[in-house]
Amino acid sequence: MNKFINIKYLKKWRISLEHKNEDKKGGKVPKPSDTSLILKNLNDRLSRIEILIRDLEYPRAEEEINEVIKIALANKFSAIYNRANQLLDIINKEKLAGEFHRMEIEHDKLIKKAPKIYDKFLNGSLDSNSASEQLISLLENTLEVDVRVDCIKLFKENANK
């Protein structure tokens, strides 16, 4: 009888041990709560957003951030919300810097435009009429004072040539 009880006990013990081993192998992992699942998902999305920003994919990154912010707000995840806003700031600063750089390039191009027209006139690749038409058009269509002054000076200096 005693022997029988021991065997029964051993069987139970073995079953409970098997369960424990299954858990360790990942077979029967306890279910994560919804909150930790959402958190994990948001953290993954933030990592993806960082990559998008690194790859200069700002529109997609912004889209993702806005969604992350919505979810973070709804679930009151302040850390995620703050990080998403930081990333949004980074994007805005990068966009602004990019825009400023583009404007600098445009400005440089514009500043050189009138002298270039004049150079073309001098080396014969533009005739007198075309050169003056281009200068007039530049004068009419730009607000950049230096460029307009250049145009008028060129007219003045070359009026009788």
Partner 1 sequence: MRISDEKCFKLFENLLTSESDDHLRLIACSALIEIYKKKALEPLLWAFEHDKNSFILEY
- Interface residues toward partner 1, by CB under 8 A: 121, 128-129, 131-133, 136, 139-140, 145, 148-149, 152-156, 158-159, 161
Q: How far apart are CA 134 and CA 129, in angstroms?
A: 9
Instruction: Name the residue nearer to partner 1 (CB basis): 61 or 147.
Output: 147
| Residue owning tokens 């709804």 | 74
Residue 67 neighbours by CB distance under 10 Å = 14
- The backbone torsions φ and ψ at residue 77, rounded to the nearest 5 degrees and listed phi first, read -95, 90
Instruction: Name the residue nearer to partner 1 (CB basis): 34 or 140.
Output: 140
Instruction: Name the residue nearer to partner 1 (CB basis): 50 or 144.
Output: 144
| Single-letter code of the amino acid located at 101 | H
C-beta of 61: minimal distance to partner 1 in Å?
Answer: 41
C-beta of 89: minimal distance to partner 1 in Å?
Answer: 37
C-beta of 99: minimal distance to partner 1 in Å?
Answer: 25
C-beta of 153: minimal distance to partner 1 in Å?
Answer: 7
| Residue owning tokens 């009429």 | 129
For residue 89, the number of C-alpha atoms closer than 13 Å in the C-beta half-sphere is 6
